[in-house]
Chains A and B, each alone.
Chain A
Amino acid sequence: MQTIMTSVSTVIFNMFIFLSVYVQVFFLITFFENRKKIVTRTGKIKLATYPSVTVIVPCWNEELTIKGTVDSLLELNYPQDKLKILLVDDGSTDNTLDVIRSFEKYENVKIFHKENGGKHTALNFGIKRTDTDFLGCLDADSMADKEALVRIMSYFEKSPTTMAVSPSVVTNKPKSILQSAQKVEYDMSVYVKKMLGLIGGIHVTPGPLTIFRMKVFDDLGPYRHAHNTEDMEIAYRMQKNHYSIDQCNDAYVYTNTPNTVKKLHKQRLRWLYGFINNTIDYKDVLFKKKYGNFSFFTLPAGILSVVAASYLIGRFFYKIGDIIYLKIVEYETVGFHISRELPTIDPFFLNTQSTFLFIIILLYILVITSIVLGRKMSEEKSGFSFDMVYFFIIYGIIAPFWLINAVYSTVLSKKPTWR
């Protein structure tokens, strides 16, 4: 019986590892297929026409960061008369309203105050007051690069069927090891998002400066609460309705990353909980040919990462439990006993069994490759950085916690809060 359990567990384990490698290889092949198409522009560009764009900045208790956010919009390399900025104070209890009032003097800035209702209500409030063909949102903890908007708009100019374009969200200068680790993750996601964009499988249109055609909201309706991940739900809804989303890898938006483990945990719990629950809400999209790669690759890959990681964590704790159990049995049987022989390291006992070790090494190589490629796309820097070590160590330790918490919260229908 035990041997059957062990071999079932081994088969499941190998299957998960196989699929994880599959996902990474899929990205890599997509990269090589399209490597000529992926351009990273460094200079200024010009558009044939500059359509009017509205950027909504929803803010709730952001007195410290909101100024930088609005300043970055005012400094955009985009004709200011074509850019409308709506600052929507969502019932802040701090000084946010006073800070945003200082922008009243700008003609293209409009300031609104409403009762607190959550981010999606602030966005919908702004959408109702939008009269341009293009609109986007900029989270009040992020700052747009000067060239970001014009580069995004060039994608719309090139393709009239593109309905939304998301930027490369990168981290603001990291100030701690925790933030350096997150920087690596953001770099990697630049690569992942670009690949998803190329196959038409983007599943999230992030709050920091994704630009939509107004038609999206006219046709599909406003933002929803969507388990506090409205920027994910709108992307799901667009995919379901065949509205194409692209990714502009050289439009940078700098976001402030959580500076404590607790805040990071809270953020990731919300994201992951949002992913799990939005996917459950949209489960009918899964494995249907008409929904393209989103249905056959993006969602399954996301589900795989949650399930496989949960399984691996479970397995890990089981093994730890097993070791502790054996130690207890040993203590009970022979008491505390120190061997007179020093433990020696015999390479014989290094486990090179069942392809496991080599596949894990391979998986690491693939992940490092994607970080390096993402870094190249987002910073034009190649090679390794020490931050990767922080990334693997820190995420290896803390990521299981938000994963467990998100799965647990989903099972118990316990909704995580925003902050």
Chain B
Amino acid sequence: MNPEPIDWKKYLIVFLFTLGLFATASFVSNYFSNKKVDQLKSIQDKIAIDILSSETQFSLLSELSCKNVSTYSILGGELGELGRKLEWGQENLGKSEEVTYLRKYYSLLQIKDYLLMKKINFRCGGNFAFILYFYTTAENCSECEREGLVLSTLRDKYPDLRVYSFDYSTDLSAVKAMLDIYKIEDTRLPALVVDDEVLTGFHSIDELEIKINESFKLQEKETIEIENKE
């Protein structure tokens, strides 16, 4: 009694077939990933145009009126949304190069937004508070994760709080310039900048709330001063 001989050819055919199925699945998933990267690109482009347009508008009209400029500030949420999508994309899309590139661009947009908003805030009397947040993804930073949670809670609580987050390892001269200005070191992350004051290490929600409220008061005072001058 001999066993049925093994049909090696069949084992191979099944292997090739399975490989084919995997390739198809991978092709389909790649297609969707590409679509998502495209989606990210188009959101980013739209935001870039918005910022550029507001900047230009501001330059044109700054001396005359503040009325028209304020429209941009409504869009603040979009930048945060894009940030969340990019972060998710970094972890899940498996297109690291393209996403890294988009994240660089995003950092730049954040800086531009920060500068513009500060100007608008100053000249046109907005009541915004700003936090620059530096973290790292290069190493495991559990404090950064916790600080991130604190900041999103605060952002949720204070719609007029604008948080800009920067990955320490971002290879972009503009980000490096900021790191230089505030003397941020990678050994002391997370780091926060509130009203030009640098805070390193983890800061709880209560500590930051005090700072933010001070910042809001400061802005208010400045606004009143400007109005009085005018």
Interface, chain A (partner B; CB < 8 A): 2, 18, 21-22, 25-26, 29-30, 33, 161, 163, 199-200, 239, 241-244, 289-294, 296, 329-330, 333-335, 337, 339-341, 348-349, 351-359, 362
Task: Assess the A355–B29 pair: CB atoms within 8 A.
Answer: yes
A244 to B5, CA, bound (A): 12
Which residues on the A side are within 8 Å of B204 (C-beta)? 333
Q: Which of A18, A21, A292, A356 contacts B4 (CB 8 A)?
A: A292
Q: Which of B29, B150, B156 contacts A340 (CB 8 A)?
A: B156
Which residues on the A side are within 8 Å of B33 (C-beta)? 352-353
Given A25-B14, A292-B6, A335-B205; A330-B36 close (CB under 8 Å): no
Which residues on the B side are within 8 Å of A349 (C-beta)? 85, 88
Task: Assess the B92–A348 pair: CB atoms within 8 A.
Answer: no
Q: Which of A18, A242, A340, A348 contacts B1 (CB 8 A)?
A: A242
Task: Assess the A244–B1 pair: CB atoms within 8 A.
Answer: yes
- Which residue in chain B gives the minimum CB-CB distance to A30? B10
Task: Assess the A362–B150 pair: CB atoms within 8 A.
Answer: no
B13 shortest CB reach to chain A, Å = 7
A129 shortest CB reach to chain B, Å = 27
- Which residue in chain B gives the minimum CB-CB distance to A341? B156
Q: Which of B2, B10, B156 contacts A29 (CB 8 A)?
A: B10
Q: Which of A29, A244, A296 contacts B6 (CB 8 A)?
A: A296
Q: Does B198 contact A (CB under 8 A)?
A: no
Q: Which of B2, B93, B146 contacts A353 (CB 8 A)?
A: B93
Which residues on the A side are within 8 Å of B146 (C-beta)? 329, 333
Task: Assess the A242–B29 pair: CB atoms within 8 A.
Answer: no
Which residues on the A side are within 8 Å of B1 (C-beta)? 161, 163, 241-244
- Which residue in chain B gives the minimum CB-CB distance to A331? B149
B2 shortest CB reach to chain A, Å = 6
A341 to B10, CA, bound (A): 56
- Which residue in chain B gives the minimum CB-CB distance to A289? B6
Which residues on the A side are within 8 Å of B39 (C-beta)? 348
Chosen A-B contacts, 27 in total, with CB atoms closer than 8 Å, are A18-B18, A22-B18, A25-B14, A25-B18, A25-B21, A199-B4, A243-B1, A244-B3, A244-B4, A291-B3, A292-B5, A293-B4, A293-B6, A333-B146, A337-B153, A337-B156, A339-B156, A340-B156, A349-B88, A352-B29, A352-B33, A353-B33, A353-B93, A353-B94, A354-B94, A358-B24, A362-B21
Q: Which of B29, B140, B205 contacts A357 (CB 8 A)?
A: B29
Task: Assess the A242–B17 pair: CB atoms within 8 A.
Answer: no
Q: Does B50 contact A (CB under 8 A)?
A: no
A82 shortest CB reach to chain B, Å = 26
Please give me the 7 A-B residue pairs with the lowest Cβ-Cβ distance, nearest first. A292-B3, A200-B4, A358-B25, A352-B32, A334-B153, A355-B26, A355-B25
A-B pairs under 8 A by CB, number: 106
Which residues on the B side are within 8 Å of A290 (C-beta)? 3
Q: Which of B10, B22, B94 contacts A18 (CB 8 A)?
A: B22
Which residues on the A side are within 8 Å of B182 (C-beta)? none
A172 to B11, CA, bound (A): 36
Q: Which of A329, A337, A348, A362 contacts B85 (CB 8 A)?
A: A348
B contact residues, total (Cβ < 8 Å): 40
B155 shortest CB reach to chain A, Å = 10
Which residues on the A side are within 8 Å of B2 (C-beta)? 242
Which residues on the B side are within 8 Å of A351 (C-beta)? 92
Q: Which of B94, B149, B205 contacts A329 (CB 8 A)?
A: B149
A375 to B22, CA, bound (A): 28
A18 to B1, CA, bound (A): 34
Which residues on the A side are within 8 Å of B157 (C-beta)? 340
A329 to B141, CA, bound (A): 13
A296 to B145, CA, bound (A): 48
- Which residue in chain B gives the minimum CB-CB distance to A21? B18
Given A341-B156, A348-B85; A2-B140 close (CB under 8 Å): yes
Q: Does B15 contact A (CB under 8 A)?
A: yes
Which residues on the B side are within 8 Å of A200 (C-beta)? 3-4
A358 to B29, CA, bound (A): 7
Q: Does B28 contact A (CB under 8 A)?
A: yes
- Which residue in chain A gives the minimum CB-CB distance to B30? A355
**Binary contact track B134-159/A, C-beta < 8 Å → 1, others 0:** 00000010100110011001001100
Task: Assess the B22–A21 pair: CB atoms within 8 A.
Answer: yes
A25 to B12, CA, bound (A): 12
A241 to B3, CA, bound (A): 9
Given A29-B13, A163-B1, 9 more contacts at CB 8 Å? Answer: A22-B18, A244-B1, A329-B145, A333-B205, A348-B88, A352-B29, A352-B36, A354-B94, A358-B29
A276 shortest CB reach to chain B, Å = 24
Which residues on the A side are within 8 Å of B140 (C-beta)? 2
Q: Which of A161, A199, A239, A362 contacts B25 (CB 8 A)?
A: A362
